[in-house]
A and B are shown apart, each in its own frame.
Chain A
């Protein structure tokens, strides 16, 4: 195994979040100089209030997830016939019309990914709060996945945008966006912010405090 890991924090150094310059904390001061001397970004050893902020955003996203999936996202009117579609009914429509690759794409991007992201973030939050030392490398990898996949949930919003632009033929055929789209957009944006506010270094902090006696103050 590795010897006691030397982290920036254990050496009284702070890594600038933007330009990665290492800045030394002043002796006796718990906080480093407020801003990075090279790029001027605010310096924090860990993202401020990471856990509370991430929890708040995760809970907000979970609340919005319900109307996003229950309310219709589009209204299709064709020759007097009006049809309201939710995300799920869109997926079912694709399965019925034999376009299962598209059904899979929409299901993964719109239903599976947001939920997976929220579950991973909850797992990470709980494990960090309980100071678990369980598989930190895998948990960091989970965090990186969460960060990378969130944007793909926007697919459905973009599809609605394109349909609304193209299918605009008066009485013949018309597609309008509905409230579900706004809630779904909110879920995507909030989960992206939630992933940004979580600090993966917290996963490793539990390990360090066990490996070596705390020698900060």
Chain B
């Protein structure tokens, strides 16, 4: 039995004979319902374009004022990194590190890894260490929590609304856009397309 067109479900190990899944369709496991493949038209190019857009938004989100806090005439402007630095100063380096990883480092690493893999792949070339980078990308993804951070912002704004006026800065809007770009970027990426390109005409 050739394993060329076989695939095992990652959630229940059932073997599937995988037909070529048409773009825009999804293949799910017949036994446990896990998502097996979800190719998109031009998924690779789309993902690359979104990753580049994401990098631009990332730089903006980290350089402009994030949130402003206005109380009794005093205005305090903060960056995305301000809270992380404050936590560190208050003797909570572990928490500061966790927040740094989940809101800054992981999203950045995710975007860089995608660009590194996808840019050469567009011309059917594999970047050196592409598979290593892809493995990292897979393990980084669960730690990238931009959308959860956004909910945190909403809760904080409501909590402080009585006490002061909160002014969202340029960075906050860029960060919000980054959430959607990152989500779209990851969902247009079908790993099987990467392997397909890599294996090429063989």
Contacts and interface: CB of A to CB of B under 8 A. Distances in A.
- What class of interface size applies to chain A in its complex with B? 35 or more
A141 B99 contact: no
Given A40-B132, A140-B33, A163-B160, 17 more contacts: A6-B15, A20-B7, A21-B195, A22-B3, A39-B131, A102-B155, A102-B158, A152-B148, A156-B152, A159-B156, A166-B67, A167-B160, A167-B163, A172-B74, A177-B92, A177-B95, A205-B13
A62 interface: no
Interface in A38-95: 38-41, 94
Contact of A20 (B10, B76, B78, B102): B10
Interface string B154-178: 0110111011001000000000000
Q: Is the interface of A mostly helix, strand, loop or mixed?
A: helix
Nearest to B153: A162
Given A158-B152, A163-B156, A173 B78 contact: no
A157 B95 contact: yes
Interface string A151-185: 11011111111111111110011001100011001
Interface stretch (A26-34, A117-125, A195-203): A195-203
Interface string A133-155: 00011001101100000011011
- What class of interface size applies to chain B in its complex with A? 35 or more
Contact of A5 (B10, B31, B87, B192): B31
Q: Which 4 A-B pairs have the closest CB atoms?
A: A158-B152, A165-B83, A8-B8, A15-B8
A2 B15 CA distance: 13
Interface in B93-151: 94-95, 98-99, 102-103, 131-132, 134-135, 138, 142-143, 145, 148-149, 151
A163 B159 contact: yes
A9 B10 CA distance: 12
Contacts of A38: 131, 195
Contacts of A126: none
B98 A157 contact: yes
A169 B138 contact: no
A137 B11 CA distance: 10
Given A2-B31, A166-B67, A166-B160, A19 B195 contact: yes
B86 A164 contact: yes
Given A19-B191, A159-B152, A7 B134 contact: no
Contact of A181 (B78, B92, B135): B92
B89 to A, nearest CB: 9
Contacts of B11: 140, 143-144, 200-201
Interface string B72-85: 10101010001110
B15 A13 contact: yes
A11 B153 contact: no
A158 B159 contact: no
A203 B92 CA distance: 39
A201 B158 CA distance: 43
Interface string B50-69: 00000000000000000101
Best-buried of B8, B71, B191 by chain A (most CB within 10 Å): B8
Interface in B6-34: 6-8, 10-15, 31-34
B138 A18 contact: yes
Contacts of B191: 19-20
A38 B33 CA distance: 26
B168 to A, nearest CB: 12
A129 to B, nearest CB: 18
B92 A158 contact: no
